[in-house]
């Protein structure tokens, strides 16, 4: 007899970690819609709508605003492996784990990677980036917007113009910020960007939005190889080095998402339905209102934690609004707190990586879970759990302080 | 005002092409379950169940039976880019578009690709493969099981032992056959295999099952690099060439799917829920019963088409049971028939690629759509559509012949 296990029956978690977070029920509903063939005109119509919707979310006019069928990491790799030819110089500012990841992916793509580093919990000044641009003259700068590992949001508004001045392309990993913090791609002169659905867009992981502009397309042009099985007769081969990946070959993805509809992968229909709904929900709320909500809820969480006598990690002026790092107090077993939050309250919070592993907790307030009730519930559970684990905050102070923020006249 | 379009409202298609096909409603239901964090013990429990379930579907004892977060093409690339070091010799038997795709992916991974070819619509004899093994002495043979482009199923039972004799690894692309045709991985001595959900498993595209054995693990061992952000202190670097992709790095996926749970991508929760249910449905039916169902329904379709005076494409003895090629009769506009089937009956059928583009239609009978009513409805619509397009089959003959097959005493 086959062992088939039981029906899925996941416990009702409140996911208040650095992501993934709970999926908006409207997204799950959209994902339950019936399947279409990938070249069905109704489906290619949905693909075009996804492009139009995602452009608005990215605040860009970029024609090439589409999905990579994979997680956020897949989208990053698609852009880096397509833009980087072996030997190309790539500058990566690293202030946390996800900066390290960009180095790793760029190196595997054959890039000559130059790194500048800053302590986790801090960000780079434009001067430091400019100094490196002047010294290294990279083809590409790859930077993380919000690095959830350190909870810092790198200011980017001056980096794009700097890259233009030094003739570099700018790629931004916006996995943890798209839909939660302002990221006006065109205004900031970002040439390519990648994200995911599972953070500030309230979708499941598995489909990843990307956007790139004509400067990026120009860099890709010599590498526009079409696979032999579908290359139209007589079409010449491109002259540049072949992109090292077939799945992540952006020019081929462009062929698939263009009106030519050149066959590539079989688009992940259900995930595309979900992505479409994620974008619609963000736009229906209005991006500015959404960013304000994330800022308010983040502020309330910080106020609550501080009133509990806890220290917020890192440079508070450059903190991501949607992820908060909390210094684990001396004598408290951080992992025990995380386990007890999950076991006793079914609430997930996280720790971090590398130098911050076991040194901070991380609480996320993103998209569907960026709500007053979610924050207050989390603070109440956190106070109780800390008490069980030997840290006594002033009773009720956290919730009172958070509520006070929500009651401010301009709290909306 | 943002342009957000309307709610999703896809028409109720009957997807009788070469895939994707309609998703089993039980799979959609499983995919609507609430989200879990990727390191939640309940979720990692589901990951382990997925491994146990997929082993049974693959008919293997391979510990490493897991999912790649992407489409079937992603799974193929994960295996090829991880197993192929630049310069490694790779033998690919090509009998259709998906053999060509294996060449393309292997070349981009840096493989020294040697091709043997056979006309689309035919398969390779073991002798031809052995001749090439003797001549080329490849490290790896990459073969397609069912190449939907030509509708042929390559017999593989003798290929695995041959590969062992010549010291080669055998990789099989089973995208279009897993769950529909027998593919006993261990019995056939297949070292690595990849598939997708959107064909004979009735799931959506976007999560892709793979399996690989200890011979493959041995080949991967020297390339087991752990990314710097999460490498435990003091752990030595591996000595082999770094795998060119981070996302598709099998040793890192093994770290993630092992009890070490080394952080890699954020597992696509919803897709994993779907994959789990796809496997459960296949096993609940029973694999042998499922293969018999696919064979019976495929036979009924062929009988119906022949009774309509149509010619079945290719070597009938080696035809995939779940995809049927039909030679487009002289004077009939094949694309017009495809369009009319969709417009008038909401039934999708396909044409093919390359040399068969416009020369054959393809009808799939897979998983949820591998049903008597689906075949009869398709035959009725096809007869009517062909008549509109100038080809008159004997009225009713197709359905009568198909029904006769379903009424055979051993039809189950």
The rounded distance, in Å, linking the Cα atoms of A13 and A8 is 14
Is the predicted pLDDT of residue A206 greater than 90, yes or no? Answer: yes
The rounded distance, in Å, linking the Cα atoms of A359 and A333 is 10
The rounded distance, in Å, linking the Cα atoms of A247 and B70 is 9
Judge whether B33-282 and B287-411 match in fold: no
Residue A227's pLDDT band, with cuts at 50, 70 and 90, is: confident
Min Cα distance B32 → chain A (Å) is: 5
For chain A, give the percent of residues with pLDDT over 70: 98
Q: B134 to each of B106, B129, B131, B165, how far by Cα in Å?
A: 20, 9, 5, 10
The rounded distance, in Å, linking the Cα atoms of A48 and A139 is 31
Q: Which residues of B touch A263 (CB under 8 A)?
A: 353
Q: How many CB atoms lie within 10 A of CB A125?
A: 12
Is the predicted pLDDT of residue A11 greater than 80, yes or no? Answer: yes
Min Cα distance A331 → chain B (Å) is: 24
For residues A188-212, give the mean pLDDT: 98
Residue carrying structure tokens 């397309």: A217
Average pLDDT, chain A: 96
pLDDT of residue B297: 98
pLDDT of residue B269: 98
pLDDT of residue A183: 98
Closest CA to A75 of A277, A239, A271, A238: A271
Q: A83 to each of A76, A139, A201, A224, A297, how far by Cα in Å?
A: 11, 9, 26, 11, 37
pLDDT of residue A107: 97
Is the predicted pLDDT of residue A338 greater than 90, yes or no? Answer: yes
Model's pTM, two decimal places?
A: 0.97
Where are the domains positioned within chain A?
25-282, 286-411
Q: Which residues of B touch A71 (CB under 8 A)?
A: 69, 247, 265-268
Using left for φ > 0, alpha for ψ between -120 and 50, and beta otherwise, residue A5 falls in: left
Residue carrying structure tokens 């009988």: B303
pLDDT of residue B233: 67
Give the torsion sign (CA, B21, A77, A274, A62).
negative
Q: Which residues pair with B15 in a beta bridge?
A: B348
Structure-block tokens of residue A8: 């899925």
The rounded distance, in Å, linking the Cα atoms of A323 and A364 is 4
- pLDDT tens digits, residue range B83-107? 999 999 999 999 999 999 999 999 9
Mutation site, A69, A248, A341, interface B, largest B CB count within 10 A: A69
A25-282: CATH class: alpha beta
Q: Are strands B192-194 and B208-212 parallel, antiparallel or unpaired?
A: antiparallel
Contact check, Cβ <8 Å, B205/A268: yes
The rounded distance, in Å, linking the Cα atoms of B3 and A233 is 39
Domain A286-411: give its CATH architecture: Alpha-Beta Complex (3.90)
CATH number of the structural domain B287-411: 3.90.1150.10
Contact check, Cβ <8 Å, B108/A242: yes
Q: Give the DSSP per-residue string, B215-272.
A: HHHHHHGGG----TTTPPTTPPPP-SPPPS-STT-HHHHHHHHSTT----S---HHHH
From the candidate CATH numbers 3.40.50.720, 3.40.50.970, 3.40.50.20, 3.40.640.10, the one assigned to the domain spanning B33-282: 3.40.640.10
* CB of B360 closer than 8 Å to CB of B267: no
pLDDT of residue A134: 98
Tens-binned pLDDT, residue by residue, of chain B (412 aa): 789 999 999 999 999 999 999 999 999 999 999 999 999 999 999 999 999 999 999 999 999 999 999 999 999 999 999 999 999 999 999 999 999 999 999 999 999 999 999 999 999 999 999 999 999 999 999 999 999 999 999 999 999 999 999 999 999 999 999 999 999 999 999 999 999 999 999 999 999 999 999 999 999 999 988 777 677 666 667 888 899 999 999 999 999 999 999 999 999 999 999 999 999 999 999 999 999 999 999 999 999 999 999 999 999 999 999 999 999 999 999 999 999 999 999 999 999 999 999 999 999 999 999 999 999 999 999 999 999 999 999 999 999 999 999 999 878 6
Cβ-proximal residues to A253 (8 Å cutoff; 6+ apart), any chain? A66, A68, A78, A264
The rounded distance, in Å, linking the Cα atoms of A61 and A58 is 9
Is the predicted pLDDT of residue A315 greater than 80, yes or no? Answer: yes
pLDDT of residue B254: 97
Three-point CA angle A47, A53, A59, nearest 5°: 135
Is the predicted pLDDT of residue A1 greater than 80, yes or no? Answer: no
Closest CA to A381 of A368, A367, A393, A370: A393
Q: A85 to each of A264, B63, B90, how far by Cα in Å?
A: 22, 36, 24
Give the alpha-carbon dihedral of B71, B17, B96, B356, to 10 degrees: -140
Q: Which residues of B touch A20 (CB under 8 A)?
A: 35, 37-38, 266, 269
* CB of B247 closer than 8 Å to CB of B267: no
Is the predicted pLDDT of residue A207 greater than 70, yes or no? Answer: yes
- pLDDT tens digits, residue range A127-186? 999 999 999 999 999 999 999 999 999 999 999 999 999 999 999 999 999 999 999 999
Contact status of A38 with chain B (Cβ, < 8 Å): yes
Phi and psi of B380, rounded to 5°?
-65, -45
Contact status of B26 with chain A (Cβ, < 8 Å): no
- pLDDT tens digits, residue range A87-127? 999 999 999 999 999 999 999 999 999 999 999 999 999 99
**A393 three-class SS:** coil
pLDDT of residue A2: 84
Contact status of B286 with chain A (Cβ, < 8 Å): yes
Residue A237's pLDDT band, with cuts at 50, 70 and 90, is: confident
The rounded distance, in Å, linking the Cα atoms of A221 and B251 is 33
Give the alpha-carbon dihedral of B308, B309, B313, B315, to 10 degrees: 110
Contact check, Cβ <8 Å, A283/B4: yes
Give the torsion sign (CA, B8, B14, B20, B21).
positive
């Amino acid at each position: 007899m086959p062992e088939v296990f039981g029906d899925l029956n996941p416990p009702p978690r409140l996911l208040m970690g650095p992501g993934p977070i709970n999926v908006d029920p409207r997204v799950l509903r959209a994902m339950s819609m019936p399947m279409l063939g990938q070249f069905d005109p109704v489906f290619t119509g949905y693909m075009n709508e996804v492009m139009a919707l995602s452009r608005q979310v990215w605040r860009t006019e970029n024609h090439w605003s589409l999905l990579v069928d994979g997680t956020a990491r897949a989208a990053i790799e698609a852009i880096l492996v397509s833009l980087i030819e072996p030997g190309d110089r790539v500058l990566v500012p690293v202030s946390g784990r996800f900066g390290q990841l960009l180095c790793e992916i760029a190196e595997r793509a054959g890039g000559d990677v130059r790194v500048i580093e800053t302590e986790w919990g801090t960000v780079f000044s434009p001067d430091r980036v400019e100094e490196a641009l002047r010294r290294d003259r990279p083809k590409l700068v790859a930077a993380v917007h919000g690095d959830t590992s350190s909870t810092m949001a790198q200011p980017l508004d001056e980096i794009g113009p700097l890259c233009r001045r030094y003739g570099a392309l700018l790629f931004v990993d916006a996995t943890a910020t798209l839909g939660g913090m302002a990221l006006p791609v065109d205004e900031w002169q970002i040439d390519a960007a990648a994200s995911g659905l599972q953070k500030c867009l309230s979708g499941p992981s598995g489909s990843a939005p990307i956007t790139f502009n004509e400067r990026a397309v120009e860099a890709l042009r010599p590498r526009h190889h079409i696979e032999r099985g579908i290359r139209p007769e007589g079409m010449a081969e491109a002259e540049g080095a072949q992109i090292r990946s077939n799945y992540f070959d952006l020019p081929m993805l462009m062929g698939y998402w263009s009106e030519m509809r050149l066959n590539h992968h079989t688009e992940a229909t259900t995930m595309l339905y979900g992505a479409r709904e994620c974008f619609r929900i963000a736009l229906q709320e209005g991006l500015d209102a959404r960013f304000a909500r994330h800022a308010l809820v983040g502020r309330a969480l910080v106020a609550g934690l501080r009133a509990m006598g806890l220290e917020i990690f890192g440079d508070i002026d450059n903190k991501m609004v949607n992820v908060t790092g909390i210094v684990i107090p001396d004598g408290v077993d951080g992992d025990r707190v995380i386990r007890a939050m999950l076991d006793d309250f079914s609430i997930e919070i996280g720790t971090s990586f590398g130098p911050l592993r076991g040194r901070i907790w991380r609480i996320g307030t993103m998209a569907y879970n960026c709500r007053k009730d979610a924050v207050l519930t989390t603070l109440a559970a956190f106070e109780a759990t800390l008490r069980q684990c030997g840290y006594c905050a002033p009773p009720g102070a956290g919730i009172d302080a958070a509520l006070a923020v929500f009651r401010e006249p301009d709290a909306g």
